[in-house]
Structure 1
């Protein structure tokens, strides 16, 4: 019993240590966003903002939102990341259903080629992709950031194949006997059963597109179309010494991700609990 309790204490201490290391950068960012530049550069370091719970506490955030148009960047990123994530949860389950339940010639080869794309770095394909978008005339628009997500993504398709294969085959056979078409089977039987994986894929796709910097940097040059990542980059390069404003902008850029996660948390937990359960 003593050894068991000792091991539990050691595990608890390790978990607390890992948790502290994980959340410390975010806590440090939030705390410093309420400081002035002089306080940030002060030596010895100060760990309590001088403006906290006092007049002028929100000055950094007001400056970022009003003087540097950061609210516009957040709205732009919400449009891009939201539309791209919706495209993923619409197209990937359809492709997965075709691979999992509809047998057709060349399905295994096509699925293998789709999985191979996971091993190709994005930087390898960005040049021909940029050339294609330029020829189509989609530069300085959100189309290059959104439309590719409406193609069947390898990760989302692979995830939903596992989900659909875990659904009892008897449901599929019963629907066939009742004369249901493939589309009706998909929309009325399989898609409603994938609520938790849909929420998981939505969050992953939303975060990936929200944090994307390479594509916005290549395709967008108009300031009115800047996303959060572009806004932070431009802000940092122009005002690299004003860390208080940069940190306030970073906190604002993280808040939508936290809100989306909290909204979908119930479905993610449900997906984690049902992982590995078949039938």
Structure 2
């Protein structure tokens, strides 16, 4: 009896916590189906009034067509997919080198790579901007994609731990057959590290999709805007289209939810296999 009461209390607390966590998303969804006149009504209305009209999806239609959110969506998919792919590739190479190819000063270099996680983006954004301007990359996707091909601290740490947990017997047997280090990495260890690679890809994809600072700095042409940059164009000093903003926000989280749900199993395997506690 006491055990049942404990379980009921535990699930009640967890349900309340889940409701509080989801409440901003619920409010965002409701607001995306409201008329602009209903936004500032007092007391606030929780009814999605636009659902009961002849055009229940007018805000979504307007956001995707009149505000060109479909273009922003495609731009974000391109940038996030390229950035995440580059991050997974370079982190896999670095993680394998640190785990399976010991060299003098490797631990010090690995510590320096991890130390970059403590450096905020805002600290390096000015020299980065000057570099991108010098290369002539302003108003292109290159400043959003190329930095992701540099080794990331999180992905390198995770893949190093994952590769370290794999037996060395595979590499020794392959070397006896004359395989090079790169072939051992490509044909043996890389296929075995798929869960960790997918985990790094998903984390990098979400980070790139949500990136706002770099798109604001580097993208000037509306046809190049990503989704976060496009959302910011709906909010300005003199006018804010909150219903369209909420509709665009709902659309923007759909790919993130889909990619995480599809890759959740691999994310768990990657974190467990990598020893990340």
Q: TM-score, normalised on structure 1?
A: 0.93
For 1:57, the equivalent position in structure 2 comes to 56
With 263-272 and 68-77 compared, the bigger mean Cα shift is at 263-272
Q: Deviations over 1:99-152 (max 9, x none)?
A: 111122222222121111111111111111111111111111111110111111
Q: What is the rounded CA distance, in whole Å, between the counterparts of 2:271 and 2:167 in structure 1?
A: 19
For 2:228, the equivalent position in structure 1 comes to 229
Q: 1:231 to 1:45 in 2, by over 3 A?
A: same
* Secondary structure at the counterpart of residue 180 of structure 1: coil
With 157-166 and 196-205 compared, the bigger mean Cα shift is at 196-205
For 2:136, the equivalent position in structure 1 comes to 137
For 2:110, the equivalent position in structure 1 comes to 111
With 189-198 and 255-264 compared, the bigger mean Cα shift is at 255-264
Shift of 1:58: 0.7
User: Is the Cα–Cα contact under 8 Å of residues 234 and 240 in structure 2 kept in the other structure?
Assistant: no
For 1:205, the equivalent position in structure 2 comes to 204
Shift of 1:274: 4.6
For 1:186, the equivalent position in structure 2 comes to 185
| Aligned-pair Cα RMSD in Å | 1.8
With 256-265 and 115-124 compared, the bigger mean Cα shift is at 256-265
1:70 aligns with 2:69: yes
With 47-56 and 179-188 compared, the bigger mean Cα shift is at 47-56
For 2:171, the equivalent position in structure 1 comes to 172
Q: What is the rounded CA distance, in whole Å, between the counterparts of 1:14 and 1:276 in structure 2?
A: 30
Shift of 1:241: 3.9
Q: What is the rounded CA distance, in whole Å, between the counterparts of 1:112 and 1:56 in structure 2?
A: 57
* Secondary structure at the counterpart of residue 235 of structure 1: coil
Q: 1:248 to 1:150 in 2, by over 3 A?
A: same
Q: What is the rounded CA distance, in whole Å, between the counterparts of 1:255 and 1:47 in structure 2?
A: 22
* Secondary structure at the counterpart of residue 139 of structure 2: coil
User: Is the Cα–Cα contact under 8 Å of residues 162 and 275 in structure 2 kept in the other structure?
Assistant: no
1:30 aligns with 2:20: no
User: Is the Cα–Cα contact under 8 Å of residues 159 and 274 in structure 2 kept in the other structure?
Assistant: no
Runs (4 or more) in structure 1 with deviation over 6 Å come to none
1:155 aligns with 2:154: yes
Q: What is the rounded CA distance, in whole Å, between the counterparts of 1:239 and 1:97 in structure 2?
A: 52
Q: What is the rounded CA distance, in whole Å, between the counterparts of 1:185 and 1:275 in structure 2?
A: 20
1:47 aligns with 2:46: yes
Q: Deviations over 1:5-44 (max 9, x none)?
A: 2222221111111111111111111111011012222223
Structure 2 unmatched ranges of 5 or more:
none
* Secondary structure at the counterpart of residue 237 of structure 1: coil
Q: What is the rounded CA distance, in whole Å, between the counterparts of 1:55 and 1:12 in structure 2?
A: 41
Shift of 1:231: 0.8
Shift of 1:260: 1.8
Aligned length: 276
User: Is the Cα–Cα contact under 8 Å of residues 85 and 201 in structure 2 kept in the other structure?
Assistant: yes
Shift of 1:52: 1.9
Q: What is the rounded CA distance, in whole Å, between the counterparts of 1:273 and 1:240 in structure 2?
A: 48
